[in-house]
Structure 1
Amino acid sequence: MMHIIQKIVSMSIYFSAVLLFLGDFSECSSDERKKSGSLHNSSKHVNSQKTLDITLHGILLWASMGFLMPLGVLTIRMSSTEEHHRTRRKILFYVHAILQVLSVLLATVGAVISVSKFENAFNNSHQRVGLALYGAIYVQVLIGFRRPKRYIHLSYRS
Protein backbone atom coordinates (compact mmCIF):
# COMPACT_ATOMS: atom_id res chain seq x y z
CA MET A 1 0.00 0.00 0.00
CA MET A 2 2.75 2.45 0.92
CA HIS A 3 4.58 1.60 -2.30
CA ILE A 4 1.56 2.65 -4.37
CA ILE A 5 1.11 5.86 -2.40
CA GLN A 6 4.81 6.71 -2.80
CA LYS A 7 4.52 6.20 -6.57
CA ILE A 8 1.49 8.48 -6.77
CA VAL A 9 3.16 11.18 -4.71
CA SER A 10 6.38 11.05 -6.73
CA MET A 11 4.51 11.10 -10.05
CA SER A 12 2.38 14.03 -8.86
CA ILE A 13 5.45 15.99 -7.76
CA TYR A 14 7.23 15.25 -11.03
CA PHE A 15 4.19 16.28 -13.09
CA SER A 16 3.77 19.48 -11.06
CA ALA A 17 7.43 20.38 -11.51
CA VAL A 18 7.15 19.91 -15.28
CA LEU A 19 4.06 22.12 -15.39
CA LEU A 20 5.70 24.83 -13.30
CA PHE A 21 8.69 25.01 -15.60
CA LEU A 22 6.62 25.14 -18.79
CA GLY A 23 5.76 28.77 -18.32
CA ASP A 24 3.42 31.38 -16.95
CA PHE A 25 -0.13 30.05 -16.61
CA SER A 26 -1.63 33.34 -15.52
CA GLU A 27 -2.77 34.10 -19.07
CA CYS A 28 -4.31 30.78 -20.08
CA SER A 29 -7.93 31.96 -19.94
CA SER A 30 -7.45 35.71 -19.88
CA ASP A 31 -8.72 38.03 -22.60
CA GLU A 32 -5.85 40.44 -21.94
CA ARG A 33 -3.81 38.96 -24.80
CA LYS A 34 -6.65 39.55 -27.28
CA LYS A 35 -7.02 43.19 -26.21
CA SER A 36 -3.36 44.14 -26.34
CA GLY A 37 -2.38 42.15 -29.40
CA SER A 38 0.84 40.66 -28.07
CA LEU A 39 1.95 38.36 -25.32
CA HIS A 40 4.55 40.81 -24.01
CA ASN A 41 2.10 43.68 -23.54
CA SER A 42 -0.55 41.48 -21.94
CA SER A 43 1.77 40.30 -19.18
CA LYS A 44 2.12 43.92 -18.01
CA HIS A 45 -1.65 44.21 -17.51
CA VAL A 46 -2.07 41.12 -15.36
CA ASN A 47 -1.86 42.35 -11.81
CA SER A 48 -0.43 40.39 -8.91
CA GLN A 49 -3.87 39.70 -7.36
CA LYS A 50 -5.14 38.10 -10.54
CA THR A 51 -1.95 36.05 -10.81
CA LEU A 52 -2.41 34.92 -7.21
CA ASP A 53 -6.05 34.00 -7.87
CA ILE A 54 -5.14 32.00 -10.98
CA THR A 55 -2.31 30.23 -9.15
CA LEU A 56 -4.58 29.42 -6.20
CA HIS A 57 -7.28 28.17 -8.57
CA GLY A 58 -4.79 25.89 -10.30
CA ILE A 59 -3.24 24.54 -7.11
CA LEU A 60 -6.63 23.82 -5.52
CA LEU A 61 -7.90 21.97 -8.56
CA TRP A 62 -4.64 20.07 -9.00
CA ALA A 63 -4.75 18.99 -5.34
CA SER A 64 -8.39 18.00 -5.74
CA MET A 65 -8.47 16.23 -9.08
CA GLY A 66 -4.80 15.40 -9.53
CA PHE A 67 -3.99 14.07 -6.08
CA LEU A 68 -6.83 13.52 -3.59
CA MET A 69 -9.36 12.06 -6.01
CA PRO A 70 -6.99 9.43 -7.50
CA LEU A 71 -5.78 8.57 -4.00
CA GLY A 72 -9.40 8.06 -2.92
CA VAL A 73 -10.01 5.82 -5.91
CA LEU A 74 -6.95 3.73 -5.04
CA THR A 75 -8.05 3.30 -1.44
CA ILE A 76 -11.48 2.02 -2.42
CA ARG A 77 -9.89 -0.34 -4.95
CA MET A 78 -7.60 -1.64 -2.19
CA SER A 79 -10.60 -2.24 0.06
CA SER A 80 -12.07 -4.64 -2.48
CA THR A 81 -8.96 -6.84 -2.19
CA GLU A 82 -9.39 -7.12 1.60
CA GLU A 83 -11.72 -10.10 1.78
CA HIS A 84 -11.12 -11.40 5.28
CA HIS A 85 -10.13 -8.22 7.13
CA ARG A 86 -13.39 -6.46 7.84
CA THR A 87 -11.87 -3.72 10.02
CA ARG A 88 -9.19 -2.94 7.43
CA ARG A 89 -11.86 -2.72 4.75
CA LYS A 90 -13.88 -0.32 6.91
CA ILE A 91 -10.82 1.86 7.54
CA LEU A 92 -10.04 2.00 3.84
CA PHE A 93 -13.66 2.91 3.09
CA TYR A 94 -13.56 5.80 5.57
CA VAL A 95 -10.21 6.98 4.21
CA HIS A 96 -11.77 6.86 0.74
CA ALA A 97 -14.78 8.88 1.90
CA ILE A 98 -12.62 11.50 3.64
CA LEU A 99 -10.34 11.89 0.62
CA GLN A 100 -13.27 12.23 -1.76
CA VAL A 101 -15.06 14.78 0.45
CA LEU A 102 -11.86 16.84 0.74
CA SER A 103 -11.45 16.61 -3.03
CA VAL A 104 -14.97 17.86 -3.67
CA LEU A 105 -14.53 20.69 -1.16
CA LEU A 106 -11.28 21.83 -2.79
CA ALA A 107 -12.87 21.63 -6.24
CA THR A 108 -15.80 23.69 -4.97
CA VAL A 109 -13.45 26.38 -3.63
CA GLY A 110 -11.64 26.35 -6.98
CA ALA A 111 -14.97 26.71 -8.80
CA VAL A 112 -16.02 29.60 -6.56
CA ILE A 113 -12.72 31.35 -7.25
CA SER A 114 -13.21 30.80 -10.98
CA VAL A 115 -16.76 32.12 -11.02
CA SER A 116 -16.14 35.10 -8.77
CA LYS A 117 -12.72 36.29 -9.97
CA PHE A 118 -12.39 35.43 -13.66
CA GLU A 119 -14.08 36.41 -16.91
CA ASN A 120 -16.29 33.40 -17.57
CA ALA A 121 -17.79 33.77 -21.02
CA PHE A 122 -17.11 30.06 -21.67
CA ASN A 123 -15.67 30.97 -25.05
CA ASN A 124 -12.51 28.88 -24.73
CA SER A 125 -11.89 25.20 -24.20
CA HIS A 126 -10.28 25.64 -20.75
CA GLN A 127 -13.45 27.11 -19.31
CA ARG A 128 -15.72 24.59 -21.05
CA VAL A 129 -13.68 21.61 -19.89
CA GLY A 130 -13.59 23.06 -16.38
CA LEU A 131 -17.36 23.44 -16.31
CA ALA A 132 -17.81 19.87 -17.55
CA LEU A 133 -15.44 18.58 -14.86
CA TYR A 134 -17.27 20.49 -12.13
CA GLY A 135 -20.51 18.94 -13.33
CA ALA A 136 -18.93 15.47 -13.40
CA ILE A 137 -17.64 15.90 -9.84
CA TYR A 138 -21.08 16.76 -8.49
CA VAL A 139 -22.75 13.94 -10.45
CA GLN A 140 -20.19 11.58 -8.91
CA VAL A 141 -21.14 12.84 -5.44
CA LEU A 142 -24.80 12.08 -6.11
CA ILE A 143 -23.93 8.63 -7.44
CA GLY A 144 -21.81 8.00 -4.34
CA PHE A 145 -24.74 8.68 -2.04
CA ARG A 146 -27.10 6.59 -4.15
CA ARG A 147 -24.79 3.59 -4.41
CA PRO A 148 -26.26 0.18 -3.65
CA LYS A 149 -25.38 -1.59 -0.42
CA ARG A 150 -22.41 -3.93 -0.57
CA TYR A 151 -23.49 -7.48 0.12
CA ILE A 152 -21.29 -10.28 1.29
CA HIS A 153 -21.69 -13.24 -1.01
CA LEU A 154 -21.66 -16.50 0.89
CA SER A 155 -20.96 -19.72 -0.86
CA TYR A 156 -23.47 -22.36 0.11
CA ARG A 157 -22.50 -26.00 0.06
CA SER A 158 -25.03 -28.54 -1.08
Structure 2
Amino acid sequence: MEEQKLPAHFERGTDGPKVILAGLDGSETSWRAAAYAAGLARRQHALLALVYVQPYMPTGAALGVPVSEIDSGIAEQLMAEIRESVERLQGTFTVRWEFHTFRGDPYNGLTAAAEQLTADAVVVGASERAGHRFVGSVAVRLVKAGRWPVTVVP
Protein backbone atom coordinates (compact mmCIF):
# COMPACT_ATOMS: atom_id res chain seq x y z
CA MET A 1 0.00 0.00 0.00
CA GLU A 2 1.43 3.34 -1.05
CA GLU A 3 1.57 6.09 1.57
CA GLN A 4 0.04 9.38 0.49
CA LYS A 5 1.74 12.62 1.42
CA LEU A 6 -0.50 15.35 2.79
CA PRO A 7 0.23 19.00 2.07
CA ALA A 8 2.34 20.73 4.74
CA HIS A 9 -0.62 22.67 6.17
CA PHE A 10 -2.53 19.50 7.04
CA GLU A 11 -1.79 17.64 10.23
CA ARG A 12 -2.82 14.09 11.04
CA GLY A 13 -5.16 13.66 13.98
CA THR A 14 -6.72 17.12 13.83
CA ASP A 15 -10.17 18.15 12.79
CA GLY A 16 -11.33 21.53 11.69
CA PRO A 17 -9.56 24.83 11.30
CA LYS A 18 -6.80 26.11 13.55
CA VAL A 19 -7.08 29.77 12.50
CA ILE A 20 -10.29 31.52 11.48
CA LEU A 21 -9.78 34.99 10.05
CA ALA A 22 -12.51 37.63 10.20
CA GLY A 23 -12.25 40.92 8.34
CA LEU A 24 -13.32 43.84 10.52
CA ASP A 25 -13.79 47.43 9.35
CA GLY A 26 -16.35 48.74 11.83
CA SER A 27 -19.39 48.25 9.59
CA GLU A 28 -22.44 46.41 10.92
CA THR A 29 -21.88 43.47 8.58
CA SER A 30 -18.22 43.16 9.62
CA TRP A 31 -19.24 43.05 13.31
CA ARG A 32 -21.77 40.32 12.50
CA ALA A 33 -19.04 38.44 10.60
CA ALA A 34 -16.70 38.78 13.59
CA ALA A 35 -19.39 37.44 15.94
CA TYR A 36 -20.09 34.52 13.61
CA ALA A 37 -16.36 33.79 13.29
CA ALA A 38 -15.99 33.95 17.09
CA GLY A 39 -18.68 31.30 17.44
CA LEU A 40 -16.93 29.10 14.88
CA ALA A 41 -13.57 29.58 16.59
CA ARG A 42 -15.04 28.72 19.99
CA ARG A 43 -16.72 25.55 18.74
CA GLN A 44 -13.65 24.45 16.76
CA HIS A 45 -11.13 25.45 19.47
CA ALA A 46 -9.45 27.61 16.84
CA LEU A 47 -7.70 30.94 17.06
CA LEU A 48 -9.83 33.90 15.95
CA ALA A 49 -7.74 36.38 13.97
CA LEU A 50 -9.57 39.70 13.66
CA VAL A 51 -8.07 41.75 10.83
CA TYR A 52 -8.47 45.44 10.05
CA VAL A 53 -7.05 46.56 6.70
CA GLN A 54 -5.83 50.15 6.75
CA PRO A 55 -6.08 51.93 3.41
CA TYR A 56 -2.88 53.28 1.91
CA MET A 57 -4.26 56.80 1.60
CA PRO A 58 -7.19 57.65 3.82
CA THR A 59 -9.47 60.37 2.57
CA GLY A 60 -8.51 62.57 5.52
CA ALA A 61 -4.92 62.71 4.27
CA ALA A 62 -6.08 64.83 1.35
CA LEU A 63 -7.50 67.28 3.89
CA GLY A 64 -4.22 67.61 5.74
CA VAL A 65 -4.94 65.22 8.62
CA PRO A 66 -1.85 63.09 9.35
CA VAL A 67 -2.32 59.55 8.04
CA SER A 68 -0.99 57.92 11.22
CA GLU A 69 -3.65 59.66 13.34
CA ILE A 70 -6.51 58.46 11.15
CA ASP A 71 -5.19 54.90 10.87
CA SER A 72 -4.40 54.44 14.53
CA GLY A 73 -7.70 56.03 15.55
CA ILE A 74 -9.81 53.51 13.65
CA ALA A 75 -7.68 50.55 14.76
CA GLU A 76 -7.74 51.77 18.40
CA GLN A 77 -11.52 52.22 18.28
CA LEU A 78 -11.98 48.68 16.92
CA MET A 79 -9.67 47.28 19.63
CA ALA A 80 -11.62 49.11 22.34
CA GLU A 81 -14.91 47.69 21.06
CA ILE A 82 -13.42 44.18 20.84
CA ARG A 83 -12.08 44.36 24.39
CA GLU A 84 -15.44 45.64 25.65
CA SER A 85 -17.21 42.70 24.00
CA VAL A 86 -14.69 40.20 25.39
CA GLU A 87 -15.07 41.59 28.91
CA ARG A 88 -18.88 41.55 28.67
CA LEU A 89 -18.86 37.88 27.61
CA GLN A 90 -16.11 36.75 29.99
CA GLY A 91 -17.07 33.56 31.79
CA THR A 92 -19.86 32.62 29.35
CA PHE A 93 -18.02 32.73 26.04
CA THR A 94 -14.29 32.06 25.78
CA VAL A 95 -12.30 32.21 22.56
CA ARG A 96 -8.63 32.75 21.83
CA TRP A 97 -8.26 35.83 19.66
CA GLU A 98 -5.74 38.23 18.16
CA PHE A 99 -6.15 41.59 16.47
CA HIS A 100 -4.02 42.41 13.42
CA THR A 101 -3.71 45.44 11.20
CA PHE A 102 -2.59 45.15 7.59
CA ARG A 103 -2.17 47.87 4.95
CA GLY A 104 -3.64 47.95 1.48
CA ASP A 105 -6.95 47.67 -0.24
CA PRO A 106 -9.39 45.33 1.54
CA TYR A 107 -8.99 42.38 -0.85
CA ASN A 108 -5.19 42.39 -0.98
CA GLY A 109 -4.93 43.14 2.74
CA LEU A 110 -7.19 40.23 3.71
CA THR A 111 -5.38 37.95 1.25
CA ALA A 112 -2.00 38.90 2.73
CA ALA A 113 -3.37 38.43 6.25
CA ALA A 114 -4.81 35.00 5.45
CA GLU A 115 -1.50 33.88 3.95
CA GLN A 116 0.69 35.31 6.72
CA LEU A 117 -1.53 34.02 9.54
CA THR A 118 -2.04 30.67 7.76
CA ALA A 119 -5.80 31.00 7.99
CA ASP A 120 -7.87 27.90 7.41
CA ALA A 121 -11.09 29.87 6.81
CA VAL A 122 -12.08 33.47 6.12
CA VAL A 123 -15.27 35.17 7.32
CA VAL A 124 -16.34 38.56 5.98
CA GLY A 125 -19.44 40.70 6.02
CA ALA A 126 -21.44 41.27 2.87
CA SER A 127 -20.78 44.61 1.25
CA GLU A 128 -23.27 47.35 2.03
CA ARG A 129 -22.29 49.42 -1.01
CA ALA A 130 -24.71 49.47 -3.93
CA GLY A 131 -21.96 49.64 -6.57
CA HIS A 132 -20.56 46.30 -5.53
CA ARG A 133 -23.49 44.56 -7.17
CA PHE A 134 -21.97 45.56 -10.49
CA VAL A 135 -18.23 45.70 -9.80
CA GLY A 136 -17.87 42.85 -7.30
CA SER A 137 -17.29 42.96 -3.58
CA VAL A 138 -14.28 41.89 -1.55
CA ALA A 139 -16.26 38.81 -0.49
CA VAL A 140 -16.91 37.77 -4.09
CA ARG A 141 -13.23 38.26 -4.97
CA LEU A 142 -12.16 36.14 -1.98
CA VAL A 143 -14.56 33.36 -2.98
CA LYS A 144 -13.34 33.47 -6.60
CA ALA A 145 -9.72 33.26 -5.43
CA GLY A 146 -10.55 29.75 -4.19
CA ARG A 147 -7.73 29.64 -1.64
CA TRP A 148 -9.78 29.28 1.57
CA PRO A 149 -13.32 28.44 2.53
CA VAL A 150 -15.03 31.83 2.68
CA THR A 151 -18.19 32.56 4.65
CA VAL A 152 -20.06 35.74 3.79
CA VAL A 153 -22.29 37.01 6.59
CA PRO A 154 -25.20 39.30 5.64
Q: TM-score range by the shorter chain?
A: under 0.3
- Bigger fraction of residues in strand: 2
Answer 1 or 2: higher relative contact order, Cα 8 Å, separation at least 6: 2
**TM-score, structure 1 length as denominator?**
0.27
**TM-score, structure 2 length as denominator?**
0.28
The structure with the larger Rg is 1
